[in-house]
Each structure stands twice: as C-alpha cells, then as structure tokens.
Amino acid sequence: MENEKTILIDKPSGMTSFGVVARIRRILSQKSGKKIKVGHTGTLDPFATGLLILVIGNECKNASSYSKLDKVYEATIRLGQTSSTGDPEGEMTDVSTVVPEETDIKKATSKFIGKIVQRPPIFSAIKINGQRAYKLARGGEKIEMPERKVTVYNLEVINYSYPEILIKTKVSSGTYIRSLAEDIGRELGIGAYCSQLRRTKIGTWRIEDSKELSDYGNIY
C-alpha cells in the first residue's frame, strides 16, 4: 500500500464521488492501522458511472494535474424534455413531441465540435463566492453561472432511436456533458437532458483498468 499513488474506480450510479473517496479512505485506513489520505481528481455526478482516479497519500498534492486531463464520455441524451438539473434527478418539463430525423441530429451535434462556449449547470460542484453552486441552488438562490470556453474534440452519434441519442465524445477538462445535452436540445428546438453518463477515459487512464468499488475491500 505504501507505494500506491493512484486507485482507479468504476464509480457506481447513485453514489457521490466524495462517498467513494470516504469509503476507500476507510478501507485503506483500516487495513494499514493508520489514517490514509485519499483525494479525488475530478468528480462525477451521482447519477453517472465510470472512471474516477483517486490519489493516495503524498500524491494528493498532484491531484490538479490529473483533473486537467482530457476526458472521454459515453452519454445518452433524452429528447423532448428538459430537467431542472440536466439529468434524471431533476424536475422534468415536457417540451416537444417532434421527432427529428437522424440527419437533423447529426447536423445539430456537429455544431458543438471544436472550441465552444458553455454555461455549466447550476447544480454542480463549481464554487460561487466560496460555496458549491448546487448548495446555493438547493437553498433557492438564483445563480448566474459564468460561461466558460471548452473544447469538444470529437462527438460521435453512436445510435439514435427516438427519444434517445447515444453519443461518445472526447472533451477538455471543465466540459459539462449535461450542458452539452441541453445545448443540443435547444439547437433542435425540442429540449433535452442527459439521462445516462459514463466516463471511460481520463488522459491515458482507461475504464478497462479500473476496479469495482467493492473489489478494493479485499486488495490491501
């Protein structure tokens, strides 16, 4: 354990990234008999699954270098509705029953490849005046999230079967797939939200090299 710098976890849906960190910290500390420092290198939304890189001990000071890496996601975008959170956990609003053609889908998604300006969701871990945006939003405060420039290196439509689009995309650090889904819905004029999200790669780190959270209880 002393030489371990990183742990790759395939985060399950329904659990926060902080919850994963706390569980791994507890497991490692119990195994070693002393408190082990554990940190994450970029959160995943609770509904999302996929690759989390955890840093151990002294490697925690290098966490930001991991968080700046490009990322690859697979996402399901559900058309015709919007969500207050941009994901399945929010309040849904029906927008349209129009069924776009596949050519319309590809034309709309192609407009978000390259350097784009994006507004992050209010329900996010971004800090506004020292507080997490999602905490302010849950408290009923109106928040104007600042726009940011991000890069979408590629965006491929893997499958389209209304009302769902399955995409695979490689993006720069700081890109929100929930916002991308909402922007695509607006471009189509029918609304959309991200119903499923899976992170498969961070830099050169791959989901194939990760372990299930439950596996780590028996490794150290």
> Please, what are the domains in the chain?
6-67+203-217 (3.30.2350.10), 71-202 (3.30.2350.10)
- Written as six digits, the tokens of 168 are 């695979």
CA distance 139 to 115: 33
**pLDDT (tens digit, 9 = 90+) per residue, 93-151?**
999 999 999 999 999 999 999 999 998 876 656 666 666 656 655 666 676 767 899 99
Name the band, by pLDDT with cuts 50, 70 and 90, for residue 8: very high
Task: Reply yes or no on whether 45 is catalytic.
Answer: yes
**pLDDT (tens digit, 9 = 90+) per residue, 90-107?**
999 999 999 999 999 999
Active-site residue identified among 10, 45, 87, 183 = 45
Looking at residue 196, what is its pLDDT? 98
